Amino acid sequence: MSSASFLKGKRGEYLVVLQFVLFFAFILTPSWNPLATAGLLDALAVPRWILLIGLGTIALLLGALGSIHIRDYLTPLPYPVDHNQLVRHGVYAWVRHPLYASQLFAALGWTLFTLSLPHLLILVIAFFFFDYKAGKEEGWLTERHPEYADYALQVRKFVPWIY
């Protein structure tokens, strides 16, 4: 048993708890930007709004389409349900974990909008957390669906063509 195995529980229960902790930490953390007093935020207002709307739209699309395509297999736990099938169509043809990616895109949008250092820190932690959680989920999916390994070679984890 690895030193981090306590974090996943039998079906990833602890990972879900940690995900909620990260979510609420992100929501409840006040924005802080040391450059705000220098007037830099005012000069970047339009590009920041465009980034927020654009990344927010991407987040909503990934989350909605990802949920629709796996609606019969959707569970808060990373462990796949017994009756699941490997889904490779729709948004899953572009990214393997659109629901995790949607949360990261939403957090990135807010972080770039506020230029908040605490939110940037939580976003970095969340990225590594979701990367770890996705890896655990992929191990379970590969056990159940041996063809998952080929799928993982063809489709990126969170961002199409990039990562």
Please give the single-letter amino acid code of residue 41.
L
In this predicted structure, the answer to whether residue 144 has a pLDDT above a threshold of 60 is yes
Mean pLDDT for the stretch of residues 114-141 = 96
**Is residue 17 in a domain?**
no
How does the average pLDDT of the chain come out, rounded?
Answer: 90
Q: Is residue 149 part of a domain?
A: yes
Domain range enclosing 82: 45-163
Confirm whether 73 is domain-assigned.
yes
Residue 24 located in a structural domain: no
Domain assignment present for 11? no
Number of domain units in the chain: 1
pLDDT band of 10, cuts 50, 70, 90: confident
Judged against a pLDDT cut of 90, whether residue 44 lies above it is answered with no
Indicate whether 92 belongs to any domain: yes
User: For 144-161, what is the mean pLDDT?
Assistant: 96
Which one has a higher pLDDT value, 43 or 10? 10
State pTM to two decimals.
Answer: 0.88
pLDDT at residue 95, as a whole number:
98
Across 92-114, average pLDDT: 96
